[in-house]
Each structure stands twice: as C-alpha cells, then as structure tokens.
Structure 1
Amino acid sequence: MTNILILGAGYAGLRAAKVLAQKKLDAAITLVDRNRYHYETTSLPEVAAGTRRAQSILLPLPENLPAQVNFIQATVIKIDRTNKQVELADGQPLTYDYLVVALGLESENYDIPGAAENALPIVDVKSALAVKKQLETNFQNYQTSQDPDDLRVIVCGAWFSSFEFMGALVNRLPRLAEHYRVPLDKIEIQCIEAKDMILPMFDDDLTNYVKKWLADHNVILRTGMPIKEVQANKVITADQTYTASTLVWTTGVRGSHVIGDSDFEARRNRVMVSDQLSLDDDPNVFLLGDVAAVRQPGKPYPFPATGQIAFQMADAAATNIAADLNGEPRQDFVFNDLGTVLALGSKDGVAKVFGDHKLRGYAAAAMKRVIDDRSLLKQAGVKAMVKYGRLPL
C-alpha cells in the first residue's frame, strides 16, 4: 500500500487530506500537525484584537477528518528526502512514498535588530492571544501608571493582517475603554510601513477607501518609513523614534523553518515548485501553501501565498498524486483568482470579487464571513460548517 504523508493541518494540508480521502485510493493517508486542531489563519487578527474568541476559529482534530485519514499530533523537525523519512521532536521517524509539505508560515523580521525580542507577531493562535493579553494588560496598567504609552499601539508593517487587526481593534476600543475605565480619546493606534504603496492587490479606489476609513477612525498610517530597530516600547525609523507599550509585528511572513533545516533550495523558506507543484528533482514531494512558490505566468515573481491559492494547490496536488497511482498523466496547476476581501472590523471593508466587481462597507464584511464558512465547508463538510460557521442558517 502506498504511504502518503501530509505535514501540516492548515488550509492546504487539511484540504489535501480530504481530497485524497475522497479519491478512494489504495493508499494509507497520514496527516501530522503539532496541534490537535486546525485554525482559520485569516481570523487571527480578530483574535489578537479581542473581537473573536480563539475557540471560535478552531476546528478540532481528528474528529473532523475523513475516516480514511490517520492523524498524528507531533512536531516536525526535519525532512530527510534521501531516506524518505520525516523526523519528529518525539517519536520514531515517519516514512513516506509521497510527501505533501504544508507546514505554514512564521513571522519575517528581515533581520531588524530587536524585532523578534520586542514586538509581537500574529502568526498562530498562541501569538494572537499574546497580543490580546498585552493590549489588555497595558490598558489595565494605565489606571495606575498614567503612562500615555500604555494606551498607544504601534503596528509595524502594513500587510493584510495589519489592516484587519486595526479594523477589529477600532471596533473593540469603546468597550475596552469602558471596561478598563480609560479615556477613549487618549488611545492611539498607528501603523508604520517601509513602502510608499499599500495593498497592491486593490486599485486606488479601494485603497483610498481603506486610507479614509483609517483616518476617520483616528488611525495614523505612516508609509515610506523603514524601521531600523525595535527596542522595548520603541520603534526607531531613520529620523524619529515612536513609543508605545504594545508593539505588533506584521511586516511579512516566511515559510516554516523546517524547510531551511531540511536543506531545501528556498528563499525565505519558500521553495519554487514545478508546474505540477512537486520538486523538479523529486516528483513525489509536493509543497503547498506558505512553503511553496508558484510561478505566476508573465510575471517575475510568484503568486502571493493566500488561503484561496492554498486550497487550489491542495486540490491540484491531491489530483496529481491520484493520477500517479491510477497510471494517468499529471496536470499543470492553474490558479483561478476568485478575488480578495479585506475586513475592517465586523461591519466594514473592501473587496474585489467576481473579476473586477468591487464591494465596500458592510457588503465586503459580510463577504468575509461567507468566505470563512466556505472554508469550513471545503475543509470538513456541511456538519462542520453548521457547527462552527459564522453565518446563521
């Protein structure tokens, strides 16, 4: 029996496991993840801001996996392709005939001094909860410290998650101020970004909508200001130092460190894969999601790593593995861009969907909830969507 090993239960890994199970192959399918749950990565900014409970974005494993999939909770430390083995932090190595690597992302610090030590990323449930705790601790401290920095939040980097975090936080601020008995008008949120341009996936119309929303809600956006150093409660640029007790790091992400530790040829722990999503020199090894770089036709850079491309990569990789086992030819991966949605809290946002159709305001925020539920449907089926989804039926 063919042994198919999947590393990581994020969007790509979980979807690949489900699709492979549906293929009814003569194969043993094993899914490995360090957690006994899948979490909706796109909802982490809301958890960090405190507008969603962490429990509400979790899909428990293994009970929501197909019966044909064996689940192992373990931490992957290295991939040994020579011997077709995966080393675990605890336990015996796992062997494979086909390997699907979908180990997800980590925060990217770009070697900026002090960033890792003094700023908090939003990359998983634990880190999102750490941001929430830091916010609440500082607001509570203000009652006795009267230190303006305890009511200041600096978001380092203007990435997608940055805006969704700030949008959710703005929604929560009135309740936070009331709960901790702090003056709402003294709370400050600012975002510092190295580049001049933000949100390149949107046109000027939608980007300007986001900028105006931020300004209307007293969020300061500072672009064209590379960060030189981060110290305790300080963000230092070329010509100024900004202070805040809560520093959030959302400048970018890289693939799992396991990629670098396993001697893959990679950039920022993302491996350039073939058109069939496998390695050119090892076609039984597939890389998906945040650890993969997929050639974008006609452009010098790969597709950005998003939830929707992770889903589609999983479908394609599972189909190609099934094709191998059934003696059929593989198919090249073709990305079908369904659009992009940015939520600014629960009642506002922007979106480009169905080609060039644009949404603003509540319609965009509602679309985000539809996408979250569609994700659950694709990952675990109707029952999981009904139980864990965000939209009333």
Structure 2
Amino acid sequence: MREGVREVMHIVVLGAGYAGLTAVLQLQKKIKKKDIKITLINKHRYHYQTTWLHRCAVGIYSEAYARVDLEPLLKKDLVTLKKEVVRAIHPHQKEVHTDEGIYSYDFLVVALGAEINTSEIPGLDHYAHSIVTLARANRLCNRFITVMNDYKNSQQSDPLHIVVGGGGFTGVELLGELIEQLPKMLAMHQIDANKLKLTLIEKESTVLPEFNLELGEYALARLEEAAVDIKLQTTIKEIKRRTIKIEHGGIVEEIPHDLFIWTAGVSKHSVLQSNAFLSSDQSMALTSELTVQEHPEIYIIGDAIQEKEVTHQGNVLPNADIAIQKGKFVAESIKAQLKGSHTKLIFSFKPYGSRIASIGQHDAIGLLWNKKKVVGNLAARIKRITDHMIVFQMGGARFWYSVFMGASKKK
C-alpha cells in the first residue's frame, strides 16, 4: 500500500436469504465511507421468500411471484453481487473460496442457510422431495403433475398416497395447503378426490412441538378432520422408491407411497462443519456477539446454525423474525467497529412479532408477542399481516414495494 493511500475495507456476505440480505440492506444504509466495499455472494441473482415456499409447492404462488431480483436493491457504488457457489471458508487466511474464485475479507457474514441431512435416513437423498429452496419447491410442484398423470394412466385401485415426513412448522403448513389444493388438482386430472390419501409421520407425540401442547392439539385435530392419517411417535427407518420403512412401538412395517416429502432433519451448512467453527460437542462455537469464538471478524447468522433462541415464549426455532434481527444486529455491530468503537454489542432476540403456522388459507395457530394464543381465521389473517411486516423489517418501504408490488405484476 502506498503511503497516504488508505486500504479499502472489505465486507463479504455469504447468502441472500432473510439474514444475509437484511445485513446487506442495513449496511448499505449505514455506511457512508468510500473506502469500504461489500461483496454479496449468492447462488442466485435473486432473493426468495422462504415463508411462501409451501404455497409455491402446490402452485398457489408461482416461482416468479416468490422471487425478488437483487440487483435493483443494491447500491452499485458500494455493493457487488456475485452469483457463485461457496465451496470453503479459510478463517486463518481470511479467505472465501467459491466455484469461481477467492475473496479476501476484513469482515465475513455467513448466512448460507441450512441443508438437508441426507445421511440421516437411507434413501432420503434419492427418493425424497422437499421445499427447503425455491428450486426444490418448484420441482415438487411439477412432480405433483407427473405423479397424477402416472396414477391416472396406471388405472390402479389403490389410493394415490402422498406422505409427509415431519410434523413441525414446515410439515403442517405444507399439509394445510395440500388438503385444500390437491382435490382441485385431482379434478383437473379427472381423478376421484376420494382416492387421495395423505399421511403424516412425526417422531414426537404431537405436531408442532415448537408451540405449546394446546396449539399442537388444535392443529392435530384440524388435520384429522381432513382425514390425514397421522402416525405419531413414529420414526422413518428407510425410504425406497415405492415404500417407506417405519417403526412405532418397536414394530417395523413398510407402507406404500407415490410421493414422499421430507420437511424435517435439516443441519448446519456443509462449509461450517469443520473444527474451525465447532466446539468439542460439535455445536456452533459462537459468542454472544454472533461471532466465531476464535475469529471475531466472522459472524454466523440465519438458519446456517440451526440453534434455538430462548425467550419468554419458550424456545424458538430459527425463523424469519430471528434471522432479520440478527441481520440488523450484525450491520450495527460492523458499523460500530468501522467507527472505531471497542464496545461489544450483545445479541438478544426480542419476539416482537407473532409466531403463526398456517393450516391452509383460512386457518392457522399461533402465539402473539404478548403470549396470547390465536387460532382459526383470525390467526390466518394475522399470518398475512406478518408476511408484510417481515418484508418491511428487512429493508423498509422500498424493499416491501419490490416484494409485494413487484410480485403482483408477475402473477
């Protein structure tokens, strides 16, 4: 570096989900200096609304509707978008390696999201569909059409059997949409809706274990009313092309399926599963400032860590509200350090919003910020309002307009 020339400070953000994109949008608002640059590395040139994926999977929302182009959101003189896949992080060298190149950094924000743990169950990687990404949700939507065409052409007498593995947040929301939308889809393919069979497999004693028992029982009753075959305290041992091996009370059996959808069992992103980021018990070695213990310049946020937050509402699993708050916290922390502050900021999640799980378009269960329980159509309406609040919290009115007004033009 030449004398009198100040080196450019480089902030690298990995992932443009709720956490990563919030961090970038907030950083570009707060940073005014010209000797700082931000690089956002993401697999796609768009952000997608993860909370809408269960609706994309059944065709209510199109892929284009759920997608928001990143370029118009970014300040070009400050932020550079790279459409690349992250392969490795080398903390000691302060480098990120992608499929296209190597990036050095002064601050690194890792917000890559979670991945399906395909080693958990034999056959999971070959025979299971999921909705963990927009691309996977879109593939599942197309798969429904193929399965129905195959079923119609086979003229078989057995039911068209769709099985969902996992009765948590994602599984219940997806089932709610399947209950409402599949009969319509079957009618379009001239298949008797009475031939449809939906099965839910959950290893816990109720669905939605992340909520309280009363709300879980409400959701369970709604699914049972819709004739969903619910197998609780049941584990999946193996998945094959046409059958699933399950165990309940020590008894192992195989059940047939035409389509299996996995909504549970995600794990830390593969690039974080190294000793540089893990404690001796294999948990994420993070400080209360959301930084890696041995590398305070590295922040890890979003679903990448898959850790619960302890609140007055109980343990809260990773969700959009937490991801956004962490994105904002990281932006504020980096801003403070760029200004020369040595005061450590401590992250504390505040459940301002509501935790709502939909059960179709007009039913839901949830906990409000004041611990009040809501169910039914009221909860469903609050869920729709929450969708707008989440987007506004990420990037303000401009981002909200990009998501909702832009999406309406893509219908």
TM-score (structure 2 length as normaliser) = 0.88
Superposed CA deviations along residues 342-379 of structure 1, whole A, max 9, x for unmatched, are 01111111111122122212222222222222222233
Matched residue, 2:29: 22
Residue type at the aligned position of 1:79: I
Which runs of 5 or more structure 1 residues have no equivalent in the other structure?
A: none
Alpha-carbon deviation of 1:384? 3.8
Cα 1:232–1:293 change in 2 (3 A) is closer
**Matches of 1:310 and 1:36, distance apart in 2:** 20
8 Å contact kept, 2:207–2:217 = no
Query: What's the counterpart of residue 330 of structure 1?
Result: 344
Counterpart pick for 2:333 among 309, 320, 324 = 320
Q: Deviations over 1:58-95 (max 9, x none)?
A: 111111224432211111101111211111102x3111
Structure 2 CA distance for aligned equivalents of residues 269 and 76 of structure 1? 22
Given candidates 342, 352, 366, the residue that maps to 1:351 is 366
1:302 Cα deviation after fit: 7.8
Task: Confirm or deny that 1:64 pairs with 2:77.
Answer: no
Q: Is the 8 A contact 1:10 1:103 kept in 2?
A: yes
> Which residue does the alignment assign to 2:162?
153
Kindly indicate whether residue 355 of structure 2 is the aligned counterpart of residue 340 of structure 1: yes
Unaligned stretches of 5+ residues in structure 2: 1-7
CA distance in 2, matches of 1:262, 1:130: 35
Quote the Cα distance in structure 1 between the aligned partners of 2:158 and 2:110: 42
Question: Would the aligned equivalents of 1:157 and 1:251 in 2 still touch at CA under 8 Å?
Answer: yes
Q: State the percentage of identical aligned residues.
A: 27
Q: Residues 273 and 292 of structure 1 are in contact (CA less than 8 Å); yes or no, is this contact kept in structure 2? A: no
The more displaced of 317-326 and 109-118 is 109-118
CA displacement at 1:387 relative to structure 2? 4.6
Matches within 5 A, 1:1-393: 1-26=8-33, 27-67=36-76, 68-90=78-100, 92-109=101-118, 111-147=120-156, 151-238=160-247, 239-260=252-273, 263-265=276-278, 271-292=284-305, 296=309, 304-328=317-341, 329-337=343-351, 338-389=353-404
| One-letter amino acid of the structure 2 residue matched with residue 132 of structure 1 | C
* Cα contact 2:311–2:350 (8 A) shared by 1: no
Query: Structure 2: how far apart are the matches of 1:304 and 1:202?
Result: 10
Q: Are the equivalent residues in 2 in contact too, given 1:348–1:365 (CA < 8 A)? A: yes
Q: Any idea what the Cα deviations from partners look like across 1:283-341, whole Å, max 9, x if unmatched?
A: 00000011236675699x98521111111111111111111111221210011123310
Mapped partners of 2:207, 2:110: distance in 1: 31
TM-score, reference length from structure 1: 0.92
Structure 2 letter corresponding to 1:190: T
Query: Aligned pair in 2 of structure 1 residues 170, 361: CA closer, same or farther (>3 Å)?
Result: same
Q: Which is worse superposed, 336-345 or 195-204?
A: 195-204
**Contact 1:255 1:268 survives alignment (8 Å):** no
Query: Aligned partners of 2:270, 2:158: CA distance in 1, in Å?
Result: 34
Letter in 2 for 1:257: S
Q: CA deviation at 1:269?
A: 8.5
* 8 Å Cα contact 1:99/1:285 also seen in 2: yes
Bigger shift: 307-316 or 198-207? 198-207
Task: Indicate the SS of the match to 1:45.
Answer: helix
Report how far residue 382 of structure 1 moved. Answer: 1.9
Cα distance in 2 for residues equivalent to 1:176 and 1:71: 39
Structure 2 counterpart SS, 1:54: coil
Aligned partners of 2:45 and 2:70 also within 8 Å = yes
Give the Cα–Cα distance (whole angstroms) in 1 for the partners of residues 62 and 281 of structure 2: 31
Q: Is the 8 A contact 2:13 2:40 kept in 1?
A: yes
* Alpha-carbon offset, residue 206 of structure 1: 1.6
Check whether the contact 1:259–1:266 (CA below 8 A) recurs between aligned residues.
no
User: Between Structure 1 and Structure 2, how many residues are aligned?
Assistant: 390
The code of the aligned residue for 1:5 comes to: V
Distance 1:123 1:267 in 2: 28
Counterpart residue identity of residue 100, structure 1: V
- Whichever residue aligns with residue 94 of structure 2, its letter is K
